[in-house]
């Protein structure tokens, strides 16, 4: 859905809920876009724990001698995997360390041509030990990315088309809550029902082979966890 289509859909939800006529809501697109952009963030967080594969983007990291910190191009929510990417070698995972674990794993000034570990500070990825030599595309990092702060004109980048109507529904919840309208709970029920349907189909997109939980990878939550009983 394009940005204009998202606005129009939100407007239709609001009219159906008899919000716009009685409350004299502004007609400016800036007003509606504020709610749509906020809804985009929450929809992304809801979907990323259900269909993380839809949000995965990969980026190669080239080592620079004596530099251990690198900023990724994409805005990211989680690191899904971080692999050594040397030609002729297996794509072995690079070990994650918490900042507090550095003390037992490297000494100040330590360098190595092939760092084996990493940690992060804010949006910055840091290697352990510091690379001692430049290596082109030494590592490949897979991250759960997010859309831009504001919805692009062409519509969301990562959210599948079938799930994009969640955005104006969540925005309608915000508008109703902000204006003291009792339709907020109805919009939320509609949102949860659509989200549940999206989860049932898109969380198992590969049907030709059995899929199982693997390793210790952990995302925002697991689809096997108990759901909120309030919405059951």
70 located within any domain = yes
Residues 141 and 58 in one domain: yes
With respect to residue 180, please indicate whether it lies within any of the assigned structural domains.
Answer: yes
pLDDT, tens digit, for every residue of 45-77? 999 999 999 999 999 999 999 999 999 998 999
Number of domains in the chain: 2
d(CA 2, CA 20): 22
Please report whether residue 198 resides in a domain.
yes
Whether residue 22 lies inside any domain: the answer is yes
Non-local (6+) Cβ contacts of 220 within 8 A are: 45, 48, 49, 78
The range of the structural domain enclosing residue 29 comes to 3-51+160-203
**Is residue 81 a part of any domain in this protein?**
yes
Shared-domain flag, residues 60 and 135:
yes
Inside any domain, residue 122: yes
pLDDT tens for each residue of 151-206: 999 999 999 999 999 999 999 999 999 888 888 999 999 999 999 999 999 988 77
List pLDDT tens digits, range 77-128.
999 999 998 888 888 999 999 999 988 888 899 999 999 999 999 889 999 9
> Are 27 and 109 in a shared domain?
no
Q: Two tokens at 120?
A: 């992060």
């Amino acid at each position: 859905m394009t940005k204009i289509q998202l606005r129009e859909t939100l407007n239709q939800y609001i009219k159906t809920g008899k919000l716009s006529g009685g409350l004299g809501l502004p007609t400016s697109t800036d007003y509606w876009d504020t709610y749509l952009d906020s809804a985009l963030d929450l929809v992304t967080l809801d979907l990323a724990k259900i269909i993380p594969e839809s949000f995965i983007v990969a980026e190669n990291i080239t080592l620079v001698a004596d530099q251990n910190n690198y900023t990724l191009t994409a805005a990211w929510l989680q690191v899904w995997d971080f692999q050594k990417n040397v030609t002729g070698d297996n794509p072995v995972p690079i070990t994650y360390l918490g900042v507090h674990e550095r003390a037992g794993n490297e000494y100040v000034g330590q360098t190595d041509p092939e760092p084996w570990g990493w940690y992060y500070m804010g949006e910055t990825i840091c290697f352990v030990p510091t690379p001692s030599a430049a290596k082109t595309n030494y590592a490949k990092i897979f991250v759960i990315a997010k859309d831009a702060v504001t919805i692009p004109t062409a519509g969301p980048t990562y959210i599948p088309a079938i799930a994009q109507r969640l955005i104006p529904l969540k925005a309608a919840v915000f508008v109703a809550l902000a204006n003291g309208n009792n339709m907020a709970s109805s919009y939320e029920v509609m949102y949860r029902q659509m989200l549940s349907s999206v989860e049932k189909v898109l969380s198992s997109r590969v049907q030709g082979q059995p899929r199982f939980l693997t390793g210790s990878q952990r995302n925002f939550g697991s689809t096997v966890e108990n759901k909120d009983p309030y919405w059951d």
